[in-house]
Structure 1
Amino acid sequence: MSWMRNYKYRWYETLAMNILKMGPLPKHIAFIMDGNRRFAKHSQIQKIDGHSKGFDKLTECLQWCLSMEIKEVTVFAFSIENFKRTQDEVDDLLRLAKEKFDKLLEEEKVLCENGVRIRIFGDLLLLPKDLQNVIAKAMLITEQNDKLFLNIAFAYTSHNEITTSIQEVIEDHGDLKKEDINEYLISKCLYMNSSPDPDLLIRTSGESRISDFLMWQLSSTVLYFTRALWPQLTLMDFLFGIFSYQLKKIQLTSLKTAIKTNSQNQNEICEDKSSLNQSNQYLSDRVYNFLRHVDIRRRHLLLDLTSSKKDDI
């Protein structure tokens, strides 16, 4: 199955999309793609076939996002916790991932024509070497694309992401000082440091949990839960999620409009912001140099992984 599909919309689907486009649209949508194994059980097929159907749904969903002019999509593909499943299932999942990323490399031209940039994040060193290799290549060959960003969380948990971010800071041998360590610095060391926080999170299968996914980034995200299993997700389920976001957005906008502040408070806020900006400017050289080294280390890791040879963990 190709990463880019030509989804043919029915007239009422096109109408629904055009109506929703008249309202505020999320720029970044995250998905917890839950329910592949349950779908396989209900369909009386092998678990790995359920996961394969889940990939097919992802490619379909990408086309929906392109049609709705969604700029960024983040999906939870493989949790570190998934390594606790049976060895046979883990091996099947990693083989399927290798197969799909190999297919992605074959479709470089199509992805570039559609402007899709692939970014895979997580503890990639937990993966087999051949999978590390193809993942790194997928990121590098699409890194100049900027129409749609597809972020794939693989060998990921939010606890691991935050822990890794703090370790980056602790292991620094530069000029960072205690006062430099704040939420901004830690967030810029996260795997998703170049992405805005998701506007909308959609989770399938009827579960209403976050499951250790983007916990740092979801503080102001609209959450939408649907009973549909991931391979059963329809375009209308997806559009209902966007409609839920629009309702919350309108409510929030109305609340903000109702809160009035006098000019004196506004001036005080401006003065506080000015003072904060001056402080950030004073710290910027140390912080900038540190974050630059973080980015360089991560890019060098990708380049190293592209030269790695097939070697199972």
Structure 2
Amino acid sequence: MTWIVEQDRTWAEWAALRILRVGPVPNHLAIIMDGNRRFARKEHKDTLVGHTQGFHKLTEMLCWCRDLGINEVTAYAFSIENFKRSKKEVDGLMDLAAEKFAKLLEEKEKMTKHGVCIRVIGDLNLLPSRIRKLTAEAILATRHNSKCFLNLALAYTSREEISSAVNELSRGVAEGKIYSSDISEELLEKCLHTRGSRDPDLLVRTSGEVRLSDFLLWQSGFSCLFFTKVLWPEFTIWHLFAAVFYYQRHYHTLSEARQQSLALRQCVVEESDIESCHIKFGDKVSQEHIIAHASARVERIENFLADLNNQRLNYLQQMASEGND
């Protein structure tokens, strides 16, 4: 099945779309696609059939998001914890991933036409080399597209992501690229797997489970959380409409809380610059000292992040050149 799905809308769907688009629409939707296995059991089919149906539902939802104006989607495709499932199921999921990424590469011209950028977040070293190769090729083939973004969380947990970011910062300090005083919430965020993405505005989980299962824990602090009992393969455009309407009802409260948090964060950074200057210059500190200190910090951080991005690009290029298992 194709990654780029085109669907005709009923008059009722178009009417609902127009009404929802009058209000605030989330820029970034995160989705925990739960219930594939239960759907398969319900239909008396093999587990892999449920996962295949789940992928087809994802491609449908991407079409709905385009119609709504949601330009970024992050989907929880495979957790690190999922490796604990039976070998048959894990192997089946890896085969499904290989098939779908191979299809994506066949459609890369269509992806470019629609401006779709594919990003894969997680510990890719845990994946089989054939999957690493395909994901790297998909990322590199679409990385210059900027109209809409699909982030696939593979071999992902938020705890691993945060630990990895802390290790990057620790290595940067040890190598003298940044100072320990440069470390802030903002810098840690820029070391996460999701760097380059804005935080999700709306996070949806299907199947009736009311928990995040170690998904985007850092990024969802000010997200609107919507839980629905429907199994993921049975998710419809009307469930998405309900989630967006729920988001709109809570938009102003969440937006205000997010702005207050960002303002507080900026104050903390500015106070840190002043404190560092007082330690270095004592009572002789001046506004020029503070400005120079802040400018030097910004330059260090920019160089550090540029180096990280180059390392990631080199890693992807190396993965793309790997042979298959």
TM (norm. structure 1) is 0.91
Partner of 2:190: 188
CA distance in 1, matches of 2:143, 2:112: 10
Q: Report how far residue 110 of structure 1 moved.
A: 1.2
Gapped regions of structure 2 (runs ≥ 5): 261-266, 275-289
Aligned AA for 1:163? Answer: S
SS in 2 for 1:2: coil
Contact kept, 8 Å, 1:188 with 1:194, in 2: the verdict is yes
Tell me whether 173-182 or 39-48 shows the greater mean CA deviation.
Answer: 173-182
Superimposed CA distance per residue, residues 34-83 of structure 1 (whole angstroms, 9 cap, x where no aligned partner): 00000000011100010000000000000001111111110000000000
Q: 1:243 aligns with which of 242, 245, 257?
A: 245
* 1:47 matched to 2:47: yes
Q: Name the residue aligned to 1:116.
A: 116
8 A Cα contact 2:105 2:138, kept in partner:
yes
What amino acid sits opposite 2:214 in the alignment? Answer: D
Q: CA RMSD in A?
A: 2.0
Maintained 8 Å contact 1:121/1:156: yes
Q: Secondary structure at the match of 2:117?
A: strand
From 277, 302, 305, the equivalent of 2:316 is: 302
Distance 1:117 1:91, change over 3 A: same
Alpha-carbon offset, residue 250 of structure 1: 3.9
Counterpart code for 2:183: I
- Cα separation, 2, equivalents of 1:177 and 1:255: 30
Alignment match, 1:203: 205
Matches of 2:294 and 2:72 in 1, distance apart? 28
1-side partners of 2:204 and 2:254: how far apart?
19
Q: Aligned partners of 1:185 and 1:240: how far apart in 2?
A: 35
- Structure 2 CA distance, aligned partners of 1:280 and 1:189? 20
Alpha-carbon contact 1:174-1:290 (below 8 Å) kept:
no
**Letter aligned with residue 233 of structure 1:** F
| 8 Å CA contact retained: 1:28, 1:72 | yes
Residue 244 of structure 1 aligns with an amino acid whose one-letter code is: Y
Relative to structure 1, the CA distance from residue 289 to residue 217 in structure 2 (aligned partners, 3 Å threshold; closer, same or farther) is same
Query: Unpaired segments of 5 or more residues in structure 1?
Result: 260-268
- The equivalent of 1:20 in structure 2 is 20
Change (3 A) 1:41 1:169: same
Greater mean deviation of Cα atoms: 285-294 or 152-161 = 285-294
1:286 aligns with 2:300: yes
Whole-Å Cα distance in 2 between the matches of residues 253 and 120 of structure 1? 27
Structure 1 residues 21 and 305, CA gap change in structure 2 (3 angstroms): same
Report the secondary structure of 1:146's partner residue.
Answer: coil
How many residues get paired? Answer: 298
Distance in 1 (CA, whole Å) between partners of 2:41 and 2:159 is: 30
- The CA distance in 2 between the partners of 1:226 and 1:287, in whole Å, is 41
Partner of 1:32: 32
CA distance in structure 2 between the aligned counterparts of 1:175 and 1:253, rounded to whole angstroms: 35
Instruction: Give CA deviations for 1:112-135 in whole Å, capped at 9, x if unaligned.
Output: 111111001110011111110010
Counterpart in the other structure of 1:104: 104
What are the equivalent positions in structure 2 for 1:128-147 lying under 5 Å apart? 128-147=128-147
Pairing 1:222–2:224 present: yes
- Please tell me the residue identity of whatever aligns with 2:324: K
Partner residue, 2:178 = 176
How far, CA to CA, are the matches of 2:110 and 2:61 in structure 1?
16
The aligned residue for residue 85 of structure 1 is 85
